Structure 1
Amino acid sequence: MKGMKDRCLSCKFFRLLDAGSGVCRVEKMDVADYPVKQTDEQCSRWRDCGQQYFIRIGWIKAQKAEEAK
């Protein structure tokens, strides 16, 4: 997709925790054991998440706008 990079933020296995980080769920394990990653990190197991990328970008923008208030 145009504008997407092979980064955690656009990966199928990534789940956001806050505006700057999230967890990598490439391997199924206990929720507490998922490794924390920054949104701009990259790994060899990256898979395109499609439209979810743009939803995440919108959520991050909304979080930052709320913090600025």
Structure 2
Amino acid sequence: MNIVPYDPYHQTCGIPNQIPTAPGQAPGAGAIIACRNIPGCLSQAVNGPQFVAVPRPDTRVRQSR
């Protein structure tokens, strides 16, 4: 198989890999394999390069009532 790491948009012979047509659409199998163990890669493949969704925990101190 022809799998290129770090390139979720690479078209392979054995694995169907469609580029998502809408932000948030499910990625193809090739994107899931290419993005394995790379933080932010799958989010970038799904949402586009301008919308990398990295979770940020809310660490603000809040006053209880």
Q: Which has the higher contact order (CA 8 A, sep 6+)?
A: 1
TM-score of the superposed pair, with normalisation by structure 2: 0.25
Structure in which a larger fraction of residues adopt helix: 1
TM-score calculated relative to the size of structure 1: 0.24
- Report which of the two has the higher share of strand: 1
